[in-house]
Structure 1
């Protein structure tokens, strides 16, 4: 459990403040915003190659230790950047990309390792406690960094505070890896290696039902519209609205609170009201969030309330997608299928981010570039609903044993979660 807490502290204290650090260094808002999204593209792309590395190592533990160490050391240059006030967009992009490449790879390996360690009859209790511990750790990390940055800003030493924050993030990640190393060795089975050797894209095409292809098509365009505006959320809050770090901290933590509120209720809501309603309502509400950033920007409290609801809507969106995958895809291919799903999202991320960046820097608008990009993002999200597929009515909703696993923090979305579902052990 301690590995989860220290991982969460690293995630909360560091991930939400990468872009804020770039802005503090003096990097312009466009480039700083892209530092928050382009590394996700590299993470979603390079994770396709990790199975080959896993196959060579033959066990999950070695890969997890190696990736955790690399992820931890990616913070060290950021410490140097802060104390020497060195700014280089491309070096920051490379460091953030290394961080996210390791993060994507670690998720696959950790799932496989932990499934081999935790007996089925203990999984319910273990994952329930672990998920809540991660939420708490992320929340503490966000709050601690926000308070430290606000007090350092008042003293005009916030750039050095970033250095100390990233130093402690490195320590947190190494500590998490230390506790992970105490786990028993989990070897890769031959049948898993055989799955890795098969052409993943051919298998993806084979295992994608026509209805599910429609939902992936919709999600792809929906995500493009989302990432038109996503790079500019933090620059808008910090540079345009000139919010204090304390207010910014409140906005980031609000979306985490929203995820916590909705996490344990989604399964019961889906059973009572239908999964299709949850997904459509979540998508519809997500469409208007960028406009909320503009129209509610005069009052920080309103933005915090908006982000609480944003976290709840994103929780419903992610839950619906995952339930669809576990119902439509054979169990032995679900992990690899999620890799392709992440790659599709990565293509949407870079398409939306670069398109948004071009519009932001090249098209003049009476009310400013932020209003333009947020309005276009909302219109794009609404337009993608024209492709909304109605396949959720036939999806079976498991009656119990559903928990969400927080993976990372994305300002404007809250935590990125993945539900974990375990069937009860059969007794004969």
Structure 2
């Protein structure tokens, strides 16, 4: 912690000396984002259990972002800063779940009334290459997706580099050391589901190559020290049939294997509660394909995903660590849905979604969608028999298009999950209502 803080302080000092240079201030942006959220997680299998297994809470989140421009010169310098504040509004002790990734818990089992944290990144730009170093990183890459599904976003600490020096080619690389959970004021090391030992080294590198204006190829490699190594291949293609009609193809393949101490005490992987050929070790291959047909305001998506029999899919997930608010993680599969993941060993999942943009009916800003996923042939944790599960998600979003509150957004989401078999999750109904608004000061 001392070394990283010292390095960041030195970098900020250099930037401060040049802050008056044109570009740093003129290109700066300052915004305040507000998110009000009601979260109802209804566990259908235990309605009379005590304490209640359900979560019914609401909260208010604020996110203040300052993004500077770059100083002038061959190498431009800048700084990004972020302040996060979460406030508990409602939801008594009986409806707050210990270990929740929505709110941190107080000593008596109720939710903390508030929590906050600060983060900042120093950055430099040379030609078409940018380097960022600090504690407010939010990657959105095939091998790591920062989660923003609750009041406050998940962020990471470390360094990243992105280069676009070669036309049509984007190079990404980096090393991350810590994560800050979406319901926590603290930072933790890095781990996977079931791993209680912290790793402080997640390295990655990858290429996005635009072969044509409609076809993009991807390759990424990542390594969480002492947990796993992962290769990713991706292909996206957009066929523009005409001005109002298109067909999109999205193919993804992951190959994950153990690294270092994986399988030893504390460094195991619980395969998302499913079967593992090599107990507690990462061993997985997963492929998925999605096809989307768009016509006017209509969009119909169909796809399929196959997780191999040897073990479940793996991704960064700090939920098993001591820091309660560290949980809550996303990953780059189509089945990362509202309630479940459909990522256990052997699982075959077919999924589809229909969405409509009501701008075509004269109501801009209004969108609606419904999705359905069904997983079959998932292997039970003991290796005997299989399970199946399904989920249905629906959402309606509306954003005000004009007036004093232009940009104010409302989102109502409802999910239903059911499963059969020992490795399926508890049956759940989940409802979320979210109000978002961002005000730009500059």
Normalising by structure 1, what TM-score?
0.23
Structure number with the bigger relative contact order (C-alpha 8 A, sep ≥ 6) is 1
Higher helix share: 1
Normalising by structure 2, what TM-score?
0.23
Greater C-alpha radius of gyration: 2
